[in-house]
Chain A
C-alpha cells in the first residue's frame, strides 16, 4: 500500500554506522517534494527526526543525518547507540495520494 519503499530491517553493533533507504517515484520524491523522517520507539508515537530532507530539529543528536537524490532519500545513523533501536519512517507528498509514508524500517542494535 505504501508508495515509499524502505528495507524491513537493518542492524549494527554499537558505534557502527547504518543507513536506511527510502525509494519513491517521479510523483513524490522525484517531483521535488521534501522528505521527512520519523523515529518511533516501541510503544510510543512517532517523533520528527529529520525535516526538509536534511535538517534536524533542535534536540536531535547530530549522529542522525539524511540526504535526498532523485527519487530516493536515505537516513544515516553514525555511532549507533542502544537507544536508537526503533522503527524509522520516511514521509513525503505524492501528486495523487497526498501525504505518503514509507513502509518502515526496524533498526536493531546488536
Chain B
C-alpha cells in the first residue's frame, strides 16, 4: 500500500521561507495528482496547492498565490512546496495528499503531516 511522508516543517520568522518535501513510496507516482492541504491549530482543512502527474498543471489557493510554489520530481517520487513571505496565518500542519484514478478526484492517500510555525 502506498505511503506519503512529509518533512521540512519548523519554526520560521514572519517574512521567511521554508521548503516542504513529500516522499511517496509503493505507488505509481506519476499516476497521482499531488496536493498540499493545511490545517491551522484547532481549525478545519484548507486546500493549498495541486500539481498534475506530469507537473505541467499547477493550481493555488488565493491565500498563497504568488508566495507559494509547488513542484515535483518524478524521478525521486517527491513533491515540494516552496513557501516564501510566510505569515502568522500560514501556521498549520501541512499534509501531502494524493489523488489517483481509483476514487475519482478524491484525495485517496494522505501523509502524516509536518508542522509549520510562523512566529517572531
Contacts and interface: CB of A to CB of B under 8 A. Distances in A.
Interface string B85-107: 00000000001010000011111
A103 B40 CA distance: 12
Interface residues of A, number: 26
Contacts of A48: 103, 106-108
Contacts of B104: 34, 36, 51-52
Contact of B110 (A47, A97, A99): A47
Interface of B: 35, 37, 44-47, 50, 59, 61-62, 95, 97, 103-108, 110-113
Nearest to B111: A45
Contacts of B44: 2, 89, 101-104
A101 B112 contact: no
A100 B107 CA distance: 12
A12 interface: no
